[in-house]
Structure formats: structure tokens, C-alpha cells
Structure 1
């Protein structure tokens, strides 16, 4: 080997040694960082929630989350806001009310990306005939009009946060609606400001109980933390407490880091307790409501009657389902 070759060999060996040292140093830093993330606990010392996956940026969570079975996109191209899904759940007993909700959205002049989770085969078969929505089957198999606050009803509604979480994990904003709602105008302009969650009070027993029947979740880390904690509490309570009460508790406890909550104007987003005691025609003329929530009523027939009396019933009875 001549002198020139020996010099080149010595030069490259030194570079190789330096490169190895640099790579080892980088790997050591990554290992330390991973250990620090893995050692995080669900609860911080100050009582706030944290965990190794929750503190990651939403973009990383999106990449790692298992893709929910969204089903094929509907042929109708949505005209609502991007990266946003309007979500609801329904069983066969309420398919006609769901159709009325969809008809009210159509009347506003916008058509967002709408996903409906059918809780039984009958509802699925009826709704999948439409070409303007995405219909998913949950196989809960309860086709009846469930009494409010009954164990079956509570179990039914307590599944909703799990559905919402799947969409948030994919980086989609979620506007969850109960089907006993009518849109009179486009609600999206009212979700202004840099908030994580927008919702209405339920005025339940004069307590500050929040409504989970109309909630807009932005796809942010605080929203995802909130919905994960809600799912955890539902599991721990074995469906003995409604998600409405549990969500109210979580927000009132102020344990979600940097969570920003906006309460919607009750005159623009009235719920059933307001509609009970007021003539709706007069209320509508005075307040120009955007979304009307027909809760605080009994079952399906009572809700339909109120919609018709308020002139908010837009469909025929072609989708009525008689459950025996």
C-alpha cells in the first residue's frame, strides 16, 4: 500500500469514528426522551390529566390511531366546512326524526359531511338508501323507543363519546347532534374564536348541567383529552351515570390542560325546557334561533307532535317504523 492510500484510509477511518460517536449520541438522546414520555402518569401532581400518548401533537396521534371504518364517502359532495363531520346516532324508532333533522339541514342551504351511526339493522337498511350521507352500522340492536334515563337509554347514549373519539383521532372536527334537533340556520359561524369545545347548557333541575346533545368538538389535544377521560369514566361507572353528568363534572373540575370551552347563546340554541313554556312562533320571531333542540320531551310521538305544532316537521311519515 502506497503512502497516498494509507493517508486516505486514515482520513476515512477518522470520519467514520466521528460519525459513529455522533450517531450514538443522537440515539442516547432519543432513548432518554422516550423514557421520559413513557414514565408520564395519567394524573399530574396538580390534578390535570396527562399521558404519553395524550401529550403528543394531534398530527402524531392521527398517524398512530387505528382508522375507524368510515365507509365509502357519499356521492353528494359536502358543501360545509372542511375537515369536519356532523355526527349522530339513531335506532329504528327514531329514523323518521332523523329524516326530519336531515331535511332541516338541507333547508339551510349547506350540506356538511354527515355520518349517521345506525344502532340496529333496520335503521341501517332504511338510511343506507340515501346517497347524501355516510351510514355506519354499530350493531347495538335496540330498535325500541327507549325511556329517557332508563338503563338501556343510558347505555345507548353512553356509546356516543367512543364514536366521537374515533373521528377526533383522525383529525376531524366533530359536530355531534341528537336527532331530535332542527337546524333553522347554519350553525358553523357561531363556532368562532379559539375554543376547543362549544356546547349548550341543559338547564336541568336548575343546575349547571351541560347538554351533550349538540356539541362541537375541534380536533385539538385538549378536546381529545376530554373525550378520552369521558370514555374512561363511563367505563369505570359501568353506565350507571349518564355521559351528560360525567362531561359536566370533568369540565367543572378543570382538569384538562388548556381546555377552552364556549357556551352557546341559549336564545340562538334553545333546548326543550325553553320550548315547553313559550309559544315557539313568538320565540322564533323574537330571537331568530339557529338550532332548536327538542329534548325535555317524552318519547318519539311527543317529540313529533311538538315539531308539527311548531311547524318544524318537514317530512312525511314514510319512514315511520312500527316496532313490535
Structure 2
């Protein structure tokens, strides 16, 4: 999800767990064997040459002891230092030895989950959405109750943004990858357009770029997107980049569509990689905007045409959300809890959404086409609530500007 170097990115200092432990030091033997202990003379005193050899021997032993102590102390200091800079791993129930292998390296995880054409399904997860009976459980449940979607779980990789999310992933899913950004805590709920939210969104763009560079196609989905049908039959076979919308104009290549980065299908090729590099670097031209706002700007520019990228926008008839719901339950593939502020509101409406889907699936076939069959949501999620939050944020920002303060939250 370029002019900027990797060192300037929020993921340039990312650490991929687990930590490599220091091996025990080994040492070469001394250049010559130590002399034998001197024998006493008849007078009870050592001869001068014997006393000299004894002194040399003692100096060598003392030097070796000092050297060994210095090396061991250095190893201990280095080991403690790795803990202090963010490489510390919690002791999971699976045991640290499992994490000390190549099992959780990105390319290995992607290969294990990939379809035959190297396509993977990706979602991100933090502690706020990982707790039991929260977003991630509803997300996985939708695959199990959808039409022809359960098999797609075999190709889903959960990208954990903190270690509690990673631990939960290991408990509930097969393919997990731990990704941590130095100096940033993504474990809490990131409210829309806060600094933490912006940093998380741009980190996601950079990470998705790296997936493309490894040669994998991906469907990226937010965890608050419910999967009810296999979406692949509704993707455009010739598009490099296709994305869901908050509002769909009816024209798949119309730039007037309002895209939503929470669901997209991207094929790995030179065009898509260059596009992601450009998208990520454009954050510097438009500070304070999130990835969707910047996408809305650059989609109207000439760069996409210059590199030959084929972009398509997905219809809300198949890929809907609370902004613009998919009204026909006989056609819907996914539903996104967009246009929604707050975790509690999302959970409330997503639970109703899943219950509506289960009720629909239990109907006899002759009743499924009835116009009376529809969603009962959104309820707590609404554009009005989101607009109210935006106005509050603007008022707070204006007040801080008037007081000469800067918001330094991460």
C-alpha cells in the first residue's frame, strides 16, 4: 500500500520478529603451552631461570582471565542492548524456539499462503481489534458463513502491528506475520484522521509496496470488511489496480469515483510497483492528508497515464459499505463498516450485519429474492456521526493553533 529513500519511511526501521540470539564465544589456544611448574632446589629456593618462567606463566594466565572476562561482559552488554532497543520478544505459549526460525519471515509466510498465481489476501490487526469477540472474530466468522469463502481463509495472512495482536493471531489463524515500526505504538484504536491514524495508513502503503516487490498479487482488506461471497469473479481481469468505493458513480474507470483503501486488488508488475512508490512519496507533497485523500488527488494527474497503469473502481453493488450499502443480498460480495466512528459503533452494526446475512442464508431459495430482504444497518454507524467528529477535530485544531500549540500525539 520514488523519491523517498527507505530510511525516510516509517517502516525503514521495522523489526521482523524473532530476535537472533548471540552465540557463545570461542577462543584459540595460547601460542605456546605453559611451562611446567618449577621444582624447588636443594636449598628450598627457586633457581633464577625457573622463577622467571613462573612469572611469565602467571602473567599469561592473568591476561587470559582478563580477556575472557572482557569478552563475556561485552556479550552480556550487547544482549541487554538488543532488549532495550525494541527487539525484546514476549514468551508466547508456543515457545521462543519456534520464533527463532525462518517460519515467520515475510516471504516464507506469503509463499505458504499464496494461491497458484501468487495471490494472497492480506489484512492488518492491532491489539484494539484483536481482543476476543472483537473485530477480528467477526471478520473470520464472515468467511465461514459466506458462499464459497471458507476456502479463502487458506490464503489469508494477518499482519500484526503489535505483539499482542501477533499472539492472538497465532491462537486463531494459520498465517501470521509480525510487523513493528520503531517508535510507534499501533496497539490502541486509531481514530480517524488523528496522527496515529495517518501514520498507520501510510505505513500500510509502504508495506504493500514491499509485497508487490516480492512478486505477490494481493487483495488487501480491512478487518471490518465482511466477506459474504468470493469476490474474484467480479474483479477486472485486465486491471493492475482496482479498489472499492465509498461512492460509486456507475463508471468503473471514472475518476469521479470516491475510492476507499480498505479493499483493493493489486497485481504485481512494474506499473503497480511504480504507482505505489509514487503514492507513498506523495505524502510529502500533501502533509496532513491520509492515503485516500492523496489517491483522490493523484488519480487525476498524468503519472498514472505515463506509466500505463490500468485502474478500475469496484461497484458498490458487489463491494458495498455503510457509506453506500449493497442493497441486493443476492449479489453482495463484501460489506465494509466505513463511514463509522468508534470501535463500539462498528461492533454493534457489524454484529447486526452478520445476523442479517445468516438470516438470509437460512431462507428457502424462493424467498431470497424478495424485496423485503435487506440490511438493518447502518444504525450506530452514520455519515452524521462521522461529520460531527470531523467538525470537532477542526474546532480542536483551530483552538490549538490559537493557543500556539502543536498536537504531538503519535
TM-score by length of 2: 0.53
- Can you list the C-alpha shifts for 1:100-148, whole angstroms capped at 9, x where unaligned? 2123224423224222221112111111223522222324423222221
How has the CA–CA distance of structure 1 residues 72 and 259 changed in structure 2, closer, same or farther, with 3 Å as cutoff?
closer
Within 5 Å, give how 1:1-324 maps onto structure 2.
Answer: 69-70=105-106, 72-73=108-109, 78=113, 80=115, 82-95=117-130, 96-107=134-145, 108-111=149-152, 112-139=154-181, 140-203=184-247, 208-238=257-287, 240-256=288-304, 257-275=307-325, 283-285=327-329, 288-312=331-355
The offset of 1:87, in angstroms, is: 1.2
Aligned equivalents of 1:86, 1:98: Cα separation in 2? 14
Rg comparison, structure with higher value: 2
SS in 1 for 2:143: helix
Aligned equivalents of 2:158, 2:113: Cα separation in 1? 15
Aligned equivalents of 2:151, 2:302: Cα separation in 1? 35
Between the two proteins, the alignment pairs up a number of residues equal to 238
On the 8 A contact 2:166/2:176 being kept in 1, the answer is no
The offset of 1:305, in angstroms, is: 0.6
SS in 2 for 1:252: coil
5+ residue gaps, structure 1, are: 1-41, 44-67, 315-324
SS in 2 for 1:159: helix
TM-score by length of 1: 0.66
The offset of 1:73, in angstroms, is: 3.8
The offset of 1:190, in angstroms, is: 1.6
Structure 1 residue aligned with 2:85: none
On the 8 A contact 1:209/1:245 being kept in 2, the answer is no
How has the CA–CA distance of structure 1 residues 265 and 237 changed in structure 2, closer, same or farther, with 3 Å as cutoff?
closer
How has the CA–CA distance of structure 1 residues 93 and 226 changed in structure 2, closer, same or farther, with 3 Å as cutoff?
same
SS in 1 for 2:262: strand
Moved more, 98-107 or 81-90: 98-107
SS in 1 for 2:226: strand
Aligned equivalents of 1:93, 1:304: Cα separation in 2? 12
Aligned equivalents of 1:143, 1:258: Cα separation in 2? 38
Coordinate RMSD, CA, aligned: 2.8
- Can you list the C-alpha shifts for 1:276-312, whole angstroms capped at 9, x where unaligned? xxxx8xx343x52001111111111111110122235
On the 8 A contact 1:97/1:304 being kept in 2, the answer is yes
Aligned equivalents of 1:109, 1:198: Cα separation in 2? 23
On the 8 A contact 2:240/2:266 being kept in 1, the answer is yes
How has the CA–CA distance of structure 1 residues 313 and 85 changed in structure 2, closer, same or farther, with 3 Å as cutoff?
farther
Aligned equivalents of 1:88, 1:145: Cα separation in 2? 16
SS in 2 for 1:211: strand
Aligned equivalents of 1:82, 1:105: Cα separation in 2? 21
On the 8 A contact 2:242/2:313 being kept in 1, the answer is yes
